[in-house]
Amino acid sequence: MDGYFTPSQLAQMFGGGESTWRLKAQKGEFAHAVKRGNTWFIPISDVNQIGRGYDKEFTEPQYLSPEYPNDPSSIVIAQNDDGRYGAYINEHWFGAAQSLVILEYLQSHRDWLVEKAQENELQSKNHQS
């Protein structure tokens, strides 16, 4: 199942014991986990929500490293469990006003970021060759 991992695989990727991941699945902590036979399959999209305390997502999470399918890093626009609006980057909460400061900062440095992203991609291709 593409994008789904067993408790054993998650333990190897992120630490903790296999039983920790299995028990979280059994308790319903992963909304989209499925059990096939005796094995749980947990989607990486559910794993990235660990530590987030929100009631409602307003967008689908955007993965930050789509070229690395095992990396659950993401950003999502949400309403926090205390009713505030903002964004989560992984488990880190940023209120709406903070998110706007981050957005403005990134936009003001967009050209530099584009240049460096291209350099990183070129370096990655050179290392693969």
Q: How many residues does the chain have?
A: 129
pLDDT higher than threshold 60 for residue 128: yes
Candidates 85, 108, 106; CA nearest to 95 is: 85
pLDDT number for residue 79: 87
pTM for the whole thing? Answer: 0.58
5 and 61 inside one domain: no
Alpha carbon distance 66, 20 (integer Å): 26
pLDDT number for residue 53: 57
124 and 92 inside one domain: yes
pLDDT higher than threshold 90 for residue 98: yes
HSE, CB side, 13 Å, CA atoms: give it for residue 44: 20
122 and 66 inside one domain: yes
71 and 122 inside one domain: yes
C-alpha 33: how far from its chain's center?
16
Over residues 65-93, mean pLDDT: 81
Tally of structural domains, the chain: 2
Confidence of residue 116 (pLDDT cuts 50, 70, 90): very high
| Cβ pair 90, 74 in contact under 8 A | yes
| Cβ pair 61, 75 in contact under 8 A | yes
On average, the pLDDT of the chain sits at 85
64 and 107 inside one domain: yes
C-alpha 38: how far from its chain's center?
26
61 and 18 inside one domain: no
pLDDT digits over 8-65, tens only?
A: 998 888 777 889 889 989 998 888 889 999 999 998 877 766 655 556 778 888 888 8
- CA distances in angstroms from 16 to 9, 61, 69, listed in the order given: 11, 24, 20
- Where in the sequence is the domain holding 4, given as residue range(s)? 1-47
75 and 119 inside one domain: yes
58 and 112 inside one domain: yes
40 and 88 inside one domain: no
Alpha carbon distance 98, 101 (integer Å): 5
Provide, rounded to the nearest whole percent, the portion of the chain with pLDDT above 70.
91
